[in-house]
Chain A
């Protein structure tokens, strides 16, 4: 029982983290029609910035806030210097150019921080276990991730659906020439959206940092998971990204936790222990394959343009 609740919450936490990453990716794709492979690099930079700033200031929270600002800024610089020239180009060009950016970021990190990973230690008040149900404790930090990510998801929803800037963003997504003709500075809007996406990726990275080590290439595997989420959820749909992210986070976490035991009931224990690791890492891709067969455009496709 304890294990089930714990793994369930772990799945939720991982799913929400994936959502932060996928939301930025799907926003940038839905609005600017840009495929950004370097999104994972922004996630990595968020983690590195947080580890560095936290060490400088001696405060985890201050470090996290500075890192958030730094990734936002980095995203804006990246958009202005390189990526805005790619708008309207072929998707293949996006893939190649941002692949180049990944090489650049990985190498830059190796140059600046060295090849060894960093650690981002948690302050004492975040390491205590919190009782969530009678007799069941859960780490405060993971709980904090869940709360922060849910809050951000809510803010994102309200921001896009209920504010004037959000309205402009949605309008820009459906017709960029028209909104430009109405006197809105669409270029500035794009830069802001890209910065927002970068900040979301940075937030995901810095929140994940204390749980895993901060290392080169940490953004790449999770980026591919974010792709899977976008494919399942439907490109350009934030709602789809949210539901698919939680779904994927749950399946991945629960699969890894419980699949070996389940297999052991069916197969011999040696066969099960051989097959389980490979099978549990395949689960979400199998899920994606099933979704593709049933709904090729994703579960919650955004409105057609």
Chain B
């Protein structure tokens, strides 16, 4: 165990807070905060998956919300067609996301830099239009999920607390997985590719293949978040994959600190709470949020984790 640092202490405090939140919610009778934090945890999961390719892999995907939609639609469509079992819905959601990531990744990874940002954005927008065109499944208006995924008595998704802990378990599981991936040989190659692709290729690594696998893993994780999101809102619509949602996810990652394991969780908590807080002060919360983002980009390098890290040196 390394020495005590401010960022570790804050992270531990935040995680403890997330674990104990339902107790507080039960004790105070504040149901709203549990609903809010279920959303926070799900989007933190999506942001963590984006951090894997963005922070560690250097692949700036601006289309990550597409997986939220794909995962969500997998649950919604299966539920509507009479397949209510979560043991089928969740694997399908993850598999569909993997398939989409495989195709989009194979195409997008032919390019780099700004092109990659624009192309992932454009493909996500395509997914958005396709979902809007699905007349059978609600089209623009979206699809109501009348029955949450059924895990045959193992866990009841209709119970707020159980559902919250399921989401939190998924988040911790994914972060554990990312931690293992990042420190594996595979993860080191992917991080090496971020730093210097040419050199890695010269050593003999097939760069694109490694990046594509990483891209697909990230997509699958985000597809899981999408399946949870559809269960959380009992509803899925094309808006879940609108490009501003991809932007939100990017902001969470940057705000928390790119390439920091718990950065996206921190980013999601701060961003969504800030959004909630500002929207209670004024209806025009984005008027403050927009310039705030600009200021964060201009002056706040390294995000919150970077800022906390500075306490130790200074």
Contact = CB atoms under 8 A, between A and B. Distances in A.
Interface stretch (A151-159, A199-207, A284-292): A284-292
A93 B303 CA distance: 12
A105 B136 CA distance: 35
B122 interface: yes
Interface string B49-90: 000000000001010000000000000000000000000000
Nearest to B251: A96
B291 A227 contact: no
B293 A97 contact: yes
Interface stretch (B30-38, B39-47, B123-131, B144-152): B123-131
Contacts of A221: 125
A100 B291 contact: yes
Interface of A: 29, 35, 82, 85-86, 89, 91-93, 95-97, 99-108, 110-111, 220-221, 224, 227-228, 230-231, 235, 274, 277-279, 281-282, 285, 288-289, 292-293, 296-297
Interface stretch (B110-118, B191-199, B212-220, B305-313): B110-118
A105 B244 CA distance: 14
10 contacts: A91-B114, A95-B62, A100-B290, A100-B292, A100-B297, A101-B290, A104-B294, A111-B287, A224-B125, A292-B108
Given A35-B114, A93-B297, A281-B133, A103 B284 contact: no
Given A106-B286, A111-B284, A231-B118, A274 B135 contact: yes
Interface of B: 60, 62, 107-108, 110-111, 113-115, 117-119, 121-123, 125-126, 129-130, 132-136, 243-244, 247, 250-251, 254, 284-287, 289-294, 296-298
A108 B121 contact: no
A100 B294 contact: yes
Nearest to A290: B107
A9 to B, nearest CB: 24
B60 A92 contact: yes
A281 B111 contact: no
B294 A227 contact: no
A224 B293 contact: no
Contact of A107 (B126, B129, B243, B290): B290
Nearest to B125: A224
Nearest to B287: A107
Contact of B110 (A29, A282, A296): A296
Contacts of A230: 118
A108 B291 contact: no
A99 B293 CA distance: 8
A85 B60 CA distance: 21
A48 to B, nearest CB: 16
Given A96-B297, A111-B284, A296-B111, A231 B290 contact: no
A174 B121 CA distance: 28
A94 B243 CA distance: 16
Contacts of A285: 122-123, 125-126
A102 B286 CA distance: 9
Contacts of B125: 221, 224, 285
Contacts of A93: 297
Given A97-B298, A99-B293, A110-B284, A227 B247 contact: no
B129 A278 contact: yes
B284 A107 contact: yes
B60 A282 contact: no
A285 B244 CA distance: 19
B130 A95 contact: no
Given A101-B290, A285-B123, 13 more contacts: A86-B297, A91-B60, A91-B113, A91-B114, A92-B254, A95-B60, A96-B250, A97-B297, A104-B286, A107-B287, A274-B135, A282-B126, A296-B115
Contact of B126 (A92, A220, A281): A281
A220 B243 contact: yes
Given A278-B129, A281-B133, A228 B243 contact: no
Given A100-B297, A289-B107, A107 B286 contact: yes
Nearest to B129: A281
A278 B298 CA distance: 40
Contact of A281 (B130, B135, B292, B297): B130
A86 to B, nearest CB: 8
A273 B208 CA distance: 39
Nearest to A97: B297
A100 B133 contact: no
B114 A282 contact: no
Given A277-B133, A296-B110, A103 B117 contact: no
A227 B113 contact: no
